[in-house]
Structure 1
């Protein structure tokens, strides 16, 4: 590690008391550490000896940083000098005014060399210090008072402190070398610096000649130029000029209006007023300088204090606090008292829109596309028929229902008034479908804003694992997840800043939503996932992209505008893998541009590019049901062909023979132009081998499908057992003890007991490659995805026929005596084992 070479950055050796006093920061010599500009962060910290806990280290570091009582920022010092120069000019003290002007220019020139990141950190500290400034007079209003270390710790990390020390040392060096820099300054090629210098000199000259109006105008132009130039980089110069011109136009009428402006609106400030806060602060500073020129000291001090107050408020933005990791640090105690929680209250107003505005509203009918969009309006609320009813209603015959048909009924409930057969013939995997309703409470039982808050309170949810915080701003998608538990104040703080909240797998906490997913998985025979998306008004959380699932977007609360686009390439139709994020310029015209209201449903196939944004006065809460992921023929063949090849290699010696010696001299991309006979012979031979040995048999296909079904058993949600089913299953069984202490169960099977499978797809009978027969099931699966290893029972090959009969007989009941096993005792034993694993249900409940 490089060491600091500057003598002021290292502790002095020997008996030089004066030098040692400067290092230790005693009261006699408050000299700032003259740190070298090129000093690295690690070097800077290595020269400061810190002991104790993390909090004590930070406090010790602050005590060394803020020992001096002078001005804390270059900008504040520069402004003080300019004000003093103007005052001296008015008092005909030309020599003193000129000296201060030179120092001001030198400080500004050095300040312009500070990197943008350093300047941002430094300005934050300046704003905090300014909040504690005295309000007695113009001079006291300009000085920065000391504040407690605890207040600063709330807003700064150790890395920020390091940057602050660097900038502080840089400014100290500026003050010492100001005159030298002034001599070299005139040869600079920076036109902006020259123009600023000329304006300030002109302002002082005008003030000396008592031309108050002209001096005030020159001062305003100087401040405007300096403020804008401090925070720009080379790539932003052109944009900076436009903003500067806009500020100049707004400043013309600012003087008349600034006397009646009131910016102390607090939490009730609207989003438009928040956007104008920076301009308002600029106007206050201009007005303060004009008042100084007019000798209105009291009014100038008041304007200056309003300006620093605004800066201090902006420095405590919620987003910055989370980026520094403050939400997960334990409250720091100072003098035995815990500091205030840095989290933002739930009642804070929404922030600015965090979205990249989609294209203007277009008529999808005008878009030339091969995709046909169907938009269906559901009947009015008063005309609802029996099809539009509650998702499920338990009856006395629930134990006799078919789980697959129940799944079809839920699909029908979601897409009503479209019939399922019509939907799967004309929409499924083909085109988007929008169903609009006039009933905003259609899906209210699934989830709500209040339910989400209860979930955060009652359950331990972690960021990234269970919940994501996302934003899409200026064409860039960001995930702002901190570490640790997602507590309500943290989540709602992000939401108040315009961030979208994505809750992963909410069905684990909401029984009603889990019921929908478990019933649908019986119909689709695949994993059915549900994710919840909560977006504040005028925001967007995700960039345009496409997914690898069939999506049902269920709008529960609020409104959201959806834009759908055709897949960019033919290979993206019915995509098997989700895409990355697209730029707006990569998208064509939307094939659908509609606003979903509460109660509406939007379906679109996998591979459909989409993005969504909320309106200005409406939040959005929607659920996306994801089905049919990795269920294509390609997935079947990926499982099937390796199995077929392995079996063929074991059976055929022709596939095990070595390639001809000349294979690599006649085959390959480099030899395509070679039309020799040996090349053609090799190609035909490979094709014949594939045709002869690699055509899968019916048994091969059955085996591959069983392997895919086994995967479903591992991924599926456990079934929800209804009360009428519970008394017929192991979940309602109770056991006790007799007088001798023997276990006594309240159920008993015999040959006359009627049983059936609990669900149509509750189990899968699989013959493994080693010949063993297993029953895979999801009766005991966890609510989280693949939380446990796959559950299975290994049975004898002759017992497989009994399981096959139960599968084929569903949804009807069979007596145990009908099972194709040799003995009655074995029939009862097999049925009891399946029932005790939660796979069977009796027709009559046990008493």
Structure 2
């Protein structure tokens, strides 16, 4: 849409853009996609609605109970009924990608609905919506009649109760052809009928639901009143004697009749107190803005995947910015008797399949940082102009690395900055950061349980290396590991977090492409024997009930580094610790509980408590079987 034309019409008047490109929206939402989803199972009322208008203009809803029957819906369409599919972005990738871009640009929620109407039919009676409406005509054509809202412009609620006689003649009438777009401000009363010679299919995308000044004030005024009452005694003074006998609808004087002195005094003081709330407006507006923004982050679609760029810890100076600013919200939370904490809400773990689902109030992923020492770094990110890069020197190194690993930051090599000398590494601050959802937090720097390294891995039988990978398979695997967007999309389909919340043990076949598994297996088997560490923890059995014997490797080649980074996307937002294990004759793992805290002596001589709550094991050996 031409932005200048839209801004001129926004909230004032409809805008009809005639494209004369019937295939402009080709592939955005195909009927075959909807039919396939119907066969998978859509629920009446929640996912799909069937309706038609009677000759007298009344609305007839023809929904069944429970799961919709595709064959029955096809018969209803043949009889002249319209079909509405609710929020197709939950199963249509093109629609979801469109809404992701719009949510990122506008900074507020966007939804979608699909409407298919047979030739010469009208499915839904005249009504107005409480959202900004954009109609994209996908196929066919539909004639629209537009009326002014009798309730006034920009209503905050929808209305389906209009009668033809109260609307009067339309102020605009138009035909929406395939490829056209029609914008309707909130409150525009509209009704449409498909042309006689062809069916109509249009996609309505909408926004600005409960997103006006009144909604911001609704959240801000209680905060302003609470602050005023805490700071100014006049808000805490008792009400005048018998004042309730002066206030109320029955005591309101008729027009032209002056109020008595007692009532006038009450109204004057009330107005003064209301005006006094303005002194607390900035803080109240900020609190309301934080609330609405965090709510948006939790409800929005997950942002489009971006390239993370080079790791900040790689040694070279980098420039950074939020990967998607509207997918992140920084909030400072404080309460009496507790140290303030910084909460970073983000949308990277949001589910497209649950977007706009009725009755589902999602909880956004949240990184919690104890203390306020992180604020200067975060303010540097937040106050940078949209899309601007800033030097990594503006951020605390520990925070920079953590945000990058979570996928919240995008980096690039600094063009004008000098790479750091390897002899002068950055000092890392000890962090008190925690990660997870409120109430379910893990220490960000809590180390995963490490196995004791005793004897080097020598003298044991080692299987022969597999045949070399062909060049094509090797290139496929390396390209996959280097493509962060592709790897993230691949692993999101696994939905490991949802499986873990269900509890128990789950087996996930082909968690990564075969070519990647072959490359990983070859990389591990090509490692020199002396680089593996034989773990024998039997001597610690009395302390932690662990008796292991296997060879482990905690780091390795660049291939393993890429692989660990990709596997980290299985549980984004959590601290992941990786190691490779090798089992030969007599090697085993005894029954144990990794959740039990264990004293582990670190390489610097310190002792820390370590635990692990989730174990994900990727089996690489072909044809393995459980014994």
TM-score range, shorter chain: 0.5 to 0.7
Structure 2 residue 167 is the aligned partner of structure 1 residue 587: yes
CA offset at residue 750 of structure 1?
4.6
CA distance in 1, matches of 2:71, 2:5: 46
Structure 2 residue 26 is the aligned partner of structure 1 residue 444: yes
Q: Which residue of 2 aligns with 1:791?
A: 365
- Match for 1:705 among 289, 292, 308? 289
CA distance in 2, matches of 1:602, 1:496: 27
CA offset at residue 720 of structure 1?
2.0
CA distance in 2, matches of 1:616, 1:676: 67
Q: Which residue of 1 aligns with 2:399?
A: 830
Contact kept, 8 Å, 1:566 with 1:591, in 2: the verdict is yes
Structure 2 residue 149 is the aligned partner of structure 1 residue 575: no
CA offset at residue 487 of structure 1?
4.3
Q: Which residue of 1 aligns with 2:408?
A: 839
Q: Deviations over 1:729-780 (max 9, x none)?
A: 9xxxxxxxxxxxxxxxx99555724432111212011123534321111111
- Match for 1:779 among 335, 348, 372? 348
Q: Which residue of 1 aligns with 2:13?
A: 431
- Match for 1:655 among 217, 228, 235? 235
- Change in CA separation of 1:464 and 1:438 when aligned onto 2, cut-off 3 Å: same
Q: Give the secondary structure class of the aligned counterpart of 2:326.
A: coil
Q: Which residue of 2 aligns with 1:469?
A: 50
Structure 2 residue 110 is the aligned partner of structure 1 residue 565: no
Contact kept, 8 Å, 2:103 with 2:300, in 1: the verdict is yes
CA distance in 2, matches of 1:621, 1:494: 16
Q: Deviations over 1:228-252 (max 9, x none)?
A: xxxxxxxxxxxxxxxxxxxxxxxxx
Structure 2 residue 331 is the aligned partner of structure 1 residue 766: yes
CA distance in 2, matches of 1:726, 1:624: 31
CA distance in 2, matches of 1:727, 1:769: 32
Contact kept, 8 Å, 2:144 with 2:191, in 1: the verdict is yes
CA distance in 1, matches of 2:400, 2:309: 14
- Change in CA separation of 1:676 and 1:482 when aligned onto 2, cut-off 3 Å: closer
TM-score (normalizing by structure 2): 0.60
- Match for 1:802 among 361, 377, 393? 377
User: In proportion to residue count, which structure has more strand?
Assistant: 2
Contact kept, 8 Å, 2:227 with 2:280, in 1: the verdict is no
**Worse-superposed segment, 798-807 or 682-691:** 682-691
Q: Which residue of 2 aligns with 1:223?
A: none
CA distance in 1, matches of 2:314, 2:53: 61
Contact kept, 8 Å, 1:648 with 1:694, in 2: the verdict is no
Q: Deviations over 1:505-526 (max 9, x none)?
A: 1112222221111111112110
Q: Which residue of 2 aligns with 1:555?
A: 137
User: In proportion to residue count, which structure has more helix?
Assistant: 1
Contact kept, 8 Å, 2:44 with 2:64, in 1: the verdict is yes
Q: Deviations over 1:33-90 (max 9, x none)?
A: xxxxxxxxxxxxxxxxxxxxxxxxxxxxxxxxxxxxxxxxxxxxxxxxxxxxxxxxxx
Greater relative contact order (CA < 8 Å, ≥ 6 in sequence):
2
Q: Any gaps of 5 or more consecutive residues in structure 2?
A: 414-481, 483-560, 563-627
Map residues 339-354 of structure 1 onto 2, 5 A cutoff. Answer: none
Contact kept, 8 Å, 1:468 with 1:503, in 2: the verdict is yes
CA distance in 2, matches of 1:702, 1:751: 37
Q: Which residue of 1 aligns with 2:272?
A: 688
Q: Give the secondary structure class of the aligned counterpart of 2:135.
A: strand
Q: Which residue of 2 aligns with 1:616?
A: 196
Q: Give the secondary structure class of the aligned counterpart of 1:442.
A: coil
CA offset at residue 480 of structure 1?
1.8
List structure 1 runs of 4+ shifted beyond 4 angstroms: 746-751, 844-847
Q: Deviations over 1:665-718 (max 9, x none)?
A: 444444425743333333222222222345433222222212111121122111
Contact kept, 8 Å, 2:53 with 2:125, in 1: the verdict is yes
CA offset at residue 461 of structure 1?
2.2
Q: Which residue of 2 aligns with 1:525?
A: 107
Q: Which residue of 2 aligns with 1:627?
A: 207
Q: Give the secondary structure class of the aligned counterpart of 2:41.
A: coil
CA offset at residue 727 of structure 1?
6.4
Q: How many residues align?
A: 400
Q: Give the secondary structure class of the aligned counterpart of 1:540.
A: coil
TM-score (normalizing by structure 1): 0.45
Structure 2 residue 263 is the aligned partner of structure 1 residue 679: yes
CA distance in 2, matches of 1:680, 1:747: 66
Q: Any gaps of 5 or more consecutive residues in structure 1?
A: 1-414, 730-745, 822-826
Q: Give the secondary structure class of the aligned counterpart of 2:198.
A: coil
Q: Give the secondary structure class of the aligned counterpart of 2:373.
A: helix
Q: Which residue of 1 aligns with 2:548?
A: none
CA root-mean-square deviation: 2.3
Map residues 312-331 of structure 1 onto 2, 5 A cutoff. Answer: none
- Whose radius of gyration is greater, 1 or 2? 1
Contact kept, 8 Å, 2:139 with 2:178, in 1: the verdict is yes
Q: Which residue of 1 aligns with 2:495?
A: none
